[in-house]
Every structure is written in C-alpha cells, then in structure tokens.
C-alpha cells in the first residue's frame, strides 16, 4: 500500500481539496486498494471541522465527494507512516521538514513540483484569496502529475 498525505496550514481548504481530488482520481483509475490518501494541517485551529465552504462548493460543482473529510493536525508519526508527504506551499514544506527532523521519512515535497509547466511553486491559500476555482485547477494538475509519478515509481 502506498500512503499519500496532503498538507496545508489549517486543513480546511487546499489539502482536503487535494485529498478529495486525488481520491476521485484513484477511484477512476481503480487504484483505491493500492494507494491510501489523507490530508492534515500544520496548524491546529480547525481540527475536527469539515472543509471550508468554498472547497466544498468547488468539489460539489465538479461532482467530487468530500464525505468524511475532517481537519486534523499533522502528528510526528505521519512523517514516517506516509510514502509521499505533499505540501501545498514552501511554508508548510518547511514545517514538515522541521517535524521530520532526522527521522527516516518518505518523500516530502510540494504539489506543484509535479506540474512541469507551472510558473508558480506554491498553491495559493484560497482562505485569503477566495479563488477556489484557481486552486482547484492547480491541485488537479498537481494530483495528475503525482499519480503518474507514483504509478511509474511503484509500477502500478
């Protein structure tokens, strides 16, 4: 089983959107029995809450389920239990690397590293910008690239 964790700051906008989009891609590819996906935030403010209404609206508009997704905070064991830990931006990437320290971990990187033609490196936080549609497009592109990479690296 390949384990993927998407991470943003509060786990209510970007990372739950990525979790839902990636889960949908796994369903379409028939890989949900081979790849497990989750999301978390580096902050604790929204623990237990559902995704932001803007995230839910975009996912609903695209016909993508967000059922069962609740915000949680990254815990120390996440960095050793997940094979791919995917941050939405440089700030959260740095936080994840601090949490990992010298522990043996899977890959820790940014989602947009998987988009070859992206002119930006960080998925902007729609909590502040309100641009959930732009974030959906970026996340979808990143998730497609990540899935291609996992399939190639893990021979799926």
| Contacts (Cβ under 8 Å, ≥6 apart) of 17 | 51, 55, 58, 59, 132, 135, 136, 139
Could you give the residue numbers annotated as active site? 8, 14, 125
Task: Label residues 50-59 b or e (16+ Cβ within 10 Å = b).
Answer: bbbebbbebb
Cα(151)–Cα(18) distance, integer angstroms: 18
Which of helix, strand or coil describes residue 34?
A: coil
């Amino acid at each position: 089983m390949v384990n993927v964790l998407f991470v943003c700051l509060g786990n209510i906008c970007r990372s739950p959107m990525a979790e839902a989009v990636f889960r949908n891609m796994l369903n379409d590819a028939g890989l949900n029995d081979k790849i497990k996906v989750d999301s978390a935030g580096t902050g604790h403010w929204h623990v237990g809450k559902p995704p932001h209404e803007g995230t839910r609206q975009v996912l609903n508009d695209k016909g993508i389920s967000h059922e069962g997704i609740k915000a949680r905070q990254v815990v120390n064991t996440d960095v050793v239990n997940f094979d791919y830990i995917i941050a939405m931006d440089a700030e959260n990437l740095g936080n994840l690397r601090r949490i990992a320290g010298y522990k043996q971990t899977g890959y820790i990187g940014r989602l947009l590293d998987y988009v070859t033609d992206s002119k930006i490196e960080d998925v902007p936080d729609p909590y502040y910008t309100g641009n959930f549609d732009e974030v959906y497009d970026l996340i979808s592109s990143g998730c497609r690239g990540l899935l291609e990479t996992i399939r190639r690296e893990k021979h799926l």
